[in-house]
Structure 1
Amino acid sequence: MERLLDAAGAESRRLRHALTLLCDGQWWTLADLVRASATSRRTIETLLRELRLEQDGDRLRVPLTHTPDYQDLLAVAPPPEDPVAHLVPHYAHALERLTESIAGAPRARHVLDHVSATPDTVLRRALLLGARFWLPGTRLLCVGDHDLTSLAVKLVHPEADVTVVDIDERILAYIDDQDLGVRTRWADLRLGLPASARDHDLALTDPPYTPEGAGLFVARAVEGLTDDGRVLLAYGASERTPMLAFKVQQALSELNLTYEAIYPDFNRYLGAEAIGSAADLYILRPTTKTRPAVTSRLSRLTTAIYTQGPQSVETSQNALTAPHTPSPAPALPLDFDPDLLVGDWPKDLRQPRVKLSTWLAKPYAAAADRVAIAVPPGLETALPRLLLATRAGHVRVLGTDLPPLPDVLAAVYKLSTDAGSLDAVRLPPPDGEAPSVLRRILDHGHAKLANTWREALIAVARAQGATLTKNEARTLIREAAPWSDDLTPLEAPLHRLAALPSAVAATISALTTTT
């Protein structure tokens, strides 16, 4: 053991801390020991091989009779405490609620690099935000929130204004179910940030731990900030792989951000043992050169940003180096002559074209009636929004593993699928007041949902020979759908779109009663 610690030199502090834990008389699982010491599993396993241990199932410790042998090797002082640890005991109620919420959250999806932070961690994030910044009235943007930090912030600082953007529909629905006043928006950050997710004072993100993932998520976080905002970033790497941390920090440096603080090992996780189940917490401040750098970074669309799954950086690099790699651009079907191409298509095609991100960001200027959309692997979850982004009469979508579409789209399109393709033919305007209002909302995917809804209600009242003011229409909408302010159909999570038909029907019923 002495030879192992001597060889580690100054870095033996981690090993000595783990040894101290093993000698304190408690039983430890390997996962708990990794997390408590913030040391990678491989390093802890190296330590355990040099010890004579007793075991109780999957738990272990140094026998009590042997602990005196190691007293001269222990780290007597614990690692430096984080700046808000002393506040945690005062928020036992919040910690209890967060523990229940995290336990009941949707299961992690490894293809999205999900690893849950501990309840204690998300509480301390909220406490640190309040200790460093004034949160009442402050706007916080969570760029991805599988950890449910948004809930912790609302529990501790209910007067904060919190918005979450995430690609995982399950997480968005779960956060809304908690009824804490968090706004949710759907977004694939590779394609853009919702218009309603801008002008925030603070942003917090725990991104995929690749240079591509961290660079993209932080760039989107900056995009969602005011000029004097801050980004809080959780990022960690194993003590064995400093080059990985260097590459991520290079990606951050390219965004011309300044580091205001780094809290080592602030974040702890239920998993991620390869990096010690821990990550540092960075506080980053944009400079005058940050926004041009962000614009440059976001102009380079990279679909592979994760560490695992088909959209991992490694998988993408292997595909690029493999011989005879096919082009991702699809062939245009012979039976379909589009006016416009969306996505990546062969360069020899004559039709005008537009990027997927541009298509989702704003209505396309050309009056295209027939549109062909190429959906590359990894971006299939954007399909409902790609269809809502147009008023074309016929849309042909090409892609592999296209997901089932939400039922609400049946109000707009007649849908048919074939191997690797989907046809969406726009239906004629429907009969009936509620179907007409719903259709009008869905036909204006880039417009604020509540504004379109309001004007449609006023038109229905006028057709009934009645008068409805804008304020009266807004009141009806807020009573039926209090979540509908300031978001567009493209930004709305699918569970909100699914609730839209009944909410529209409720406003029509209330309108009829009122008039």
Structure 2
Amino acid sequence: MERLLQEAGADSRRLRHALTLLCEGRWWKLADLVRASATSRRTIEALLRELPLERSGDTFRVPLAHTHAFQDLFAVAPPPEDPVAHLLPHYSGVLDRLSALVAGAPRARHVLDHVAATPETVLRRALLLGARFWLPGARLLCVGDHDLTSLAVKLVRPETEVTVADIDERVLAYIDEQRLGVRTRWADLRLGLPASARTHDLALTDPPYTPEGVGLFVARAVEGLKDDGRVVLAYGAGERMPMLAFKVQQALADLNLAYEAIYPDFNRYYGAEAIGSAADLYILRPTTKTRPAVTSRLSRQSTAIYTQGPQAIENAQKGISASERGISDFEPDLLVGEWPKDLTQPRVKLPTWLAKPYAATPGRVAVALPPGMEAALPRLLLATRASRVRVLGAALPPLPDVLPDVLSAVYTTSADEEELDAVRLPEPGDPAARVLRRILDNGHAKLANTWREALIAAARDQGTTLTKNDARALIREAAPWSDDLTVLEAPLHRLSALPDAVTATVTSLTGTTP
């Protein structure tokens, strides 16, 4: 044991802390000891090989009769001070609520590099934000929020305006189910940040732990800030991977950000044992050179940012361009995405396609969909008024898995594993269907604004007059979530609720005073 600690040198502090925990009489599971000591699984396993252990099932400890032999090796001082530990006893009720919320949250998706933070971690994040910044009236953007930090902030500081931008529809729906006032926006950050997710005071992110992932998520976080905002970043590499940490910090340095603080091992996780189930918490401040650097960084964005799945970084060089096969009989007027250079049609990149309406209205559009980006499919279809759209992908999922029922108001669709065809339907005659169709036909416009104008037109067709204020009131009653977002930003559970909400507003027209 002494030899192991001597070889570790100054970094034996981690091992000594784990040794102290093992000698306190408590039974430990390996994952729990990794998380409590913020030390990688491999390092803890090396420690355990040198110790006499007694076991009970999958738990273990140093026998009490042997602990005296190791007393001179203990880390007598505690780990670095937790800046908000003194606040935790005052929020026991919030911690109980968060424990239930985290336990009931959607399961982690490995292709998105999800690893759940502990309830204590998300509470401590909220407390640290409140201790370091003035949250009443402030605007916080969570750039991805599988950890549910948004809910913790609303429970601790309900007067904070919180927005979540996430690619995972399950997470967005779960957050909305809690009815804590968090605004939710769908976003694949490789394709852009929603326009309604800008001008925040603070942005918090716990991204995929690759240089590409951290660089992208932090760049999008900066896009969501006011000029004097801050980015709060959770990132860890573990004590065995300093080169990976260097590469990530180099990605941050390329964005010209100033480091205001780093809190070591602040975040703890259920999993990620290779990095000690822990990550540091960074507070980053943009400089006058940050926004140009962000623009440059995003212009070089790759779709591969994860450690697993079809968009893992090791797949970045395998190529995702669609072949000419699949469009030879389609004769598209416009190509969207990455296509072979010898094709002569006009083309537009996927992020541009979702960011703003295309200047012309092409009759036929062909879209090349990279693997692992199927969540964007409904938005890619709603971003155009083309009469026909063909989407090509390497392995398209079954349509019910990715297309909401509401799209049947716009398209008839057919598909196989590599090709989806969507044919635009004619304008409907029913008043409610017409209002819904007008909303869906204007995917880039603010949903509530299009809805309002369509309602006014529907009232006029019925021989009544509806003021803008009356239309707004009807919409807010039917869909209070609809302010200040576009169809392309709306989570699928919101789009699925849209037909009933539209019908309710159109039905209400008969009771509106002319």
Comparing 267-276 with 400-409, greater Cα deviation is found at 400-409
1:91-123 deviation line (CA, Å, top 9, x unaligned): 111101100000000100011000000000000
State the alpha-carbon separation in 1 of the partners of residues 416 and 58 from structure 2: 51
**Hey, what does 1:279 align to over in structure 2?**
279
Picking from 508, 511, 514, the partner of 1:510 is 508
Deviation at 1:300, TM superposition (A): 1.2
Deviation at 1:330, TM superposition (A): 4.6
Mapping for residues 248-287 of structure 1, pairs under 5 Å: 248-287=248-287
Cα RMSD of the aligned pairs, angstroms, is 1.1
**Hey, what does 1:22 align to over in structure 2?**
22
State the alpha-carbon separation in 2 of the partners of residues 275 and 476 from structure 1: 52
1:356 to 2:350 alignment: yes
Letter paired with 2:452: R
Mapping for residues 458-477 of structure 1, pairs under 5 Å: 458-477=456-475
State the alpha-carbon separation in 1 of the partners of residues 192 and 327 from structure 2: 28
Letter paired with 1:113: D
Picking from 388, 397, 402, the partner of 1:394 is 388
State the alpha-carbon separation in 2 of the partners of residues 373 and 327 from structure 1: 10
Going from structure 1 to structure 2, the CA distance change for 1:52 and 1:289 (only over 3 Å counts) comes to same
- TM superposition outliers: structure 1 runs of 4+ over 3 Å: 326-332
1:53-72 deviation line (CA, Å, top 9, x unaligned): 00111111100011110010
- TM-score normalized with structure 2 length: 0.98
Letter paired with 2:487: P
State the alpha-carbon separation in 2 of the partners of residues 316 and 355 from structure 1: 17
Deviation at 1:46, TM superposition (A): 0.3
State the alpha-carbon separation in 2 of the partners of residues 243 and 139 from structure 1: 35
Deviation at 1:307, TM superposition (A): 1.1
State the alpha-carbon separation in 2 of the partners of residues 221 and 188 from structure 1: 13
Deviation at 1:271, TM superposition (A): 0.6
Letter paired with 1:361: A
State the alpha-carbon separation in 2 of the partners of residues 401 and 349 from structure 1: 23
**Hey, what does 1:200 align to over in structure 2?**
200
**Hey, what does 1:323 align to over in structure 2?**
none
Mapping for residues 311-330 of structure 1, pairs under 5 Å: 311-316=311-316, 319=318, 328-330=322-324
SS of 1:269's equivalent in the other structure is strand
1:367 to 2:393 alignment: no
Does the 8 Å contact 1:330/1:374 carry over to 2?
A: no
State the alpha-carbon separation in 2 of the partners of residues 512 and 74 from structure 1: 78
SS of 1:483's equivalent in the other structure is helix
1:383 to 2:377 alignment: yes
State the alpha-carbon separation in 2 of the partners of residues 107 and 329 from structure 1: 35
Picking from 477, 490, 505, the partner of 2:488 is 490
**Hey, what does 2:232 align to over in structure 1?**
232
State the alpha-carbon separation in 1 of the partners of residues 321 and 282 from structure 2: 39
Aligned length: 509
Deviation at 1:339, TM superposition (A): 1.0
**Hey, what does 1:243 align to over in structure 2?**
243
Does the 8 Å contact 2:257/2:290 carry over to 1?
A: yes
**Hey, what does 1:133 align to over in structure 2?**
133
1:175-198 deviation line (CA, Å, top 9, x unaligned): 000110000000100000000000
SS of 1:410's equivalent in the other structure is helix
Does the 8 Å contact 2:302/2:316 carry over to 1?
A: no
**Hey, what does 2:68 align to over in structure 1?**
68
SS of 2:237's equivalent in the other structure is coil
State the alpha-carbon separation in 2 of the partners of residues 284 and 293 from structure 1: 15
**Hey, what does 1:347 align to over in structure 2?**
341
SS of 1:127's equivalent in the other structure is helix
Mapping for residues 277-316 of structure 1, pairs under 5 Å: 277-316=277-316
Mapping for residues 85-100 of structure 1, pairs under 5 Å: 85-100=85-100
State the alpha-carbon separation in 2 of the partners of residues 332 and 79 from structure 1: 60
Does the 8 Å contact 2:326/2:419 carry over to 1?
A: no
Give ranges in structure 1 of 5+ residues lacking alignment: 321-325
Going from structure 1 to structure 2, the CA distance change for 1:9 and 1:418 (only over 3 Å counts) comes to closer
Does the 8 Å contact 1:331/1:345 carry over to 2?
A: no
Letter paired with 1:445: G
Deviation at 1:416, TM superposition (A): 1.6
Going from structure 1 to structure 2, the CA distance change for 1:508 and 1:328 (only over 3 Å counts) comes to closer
Letter paired with 2:460: R
**Hey, what does 1:501 align to over in structure 2?**
499
Give ranges in structure 2 of 5+ residues lacking alignment: none
- TM-score normalized with structure 1 length: 0.97
State the alpha-carbon separation in 1 of the partners of residues 361 and 463 from structure 2: 34
State the alpha-carbon separation in 2 of the partners of residues 211 and 177 from structure 1: 33
Deviation at 1:315, TM superposition (A): 3.4
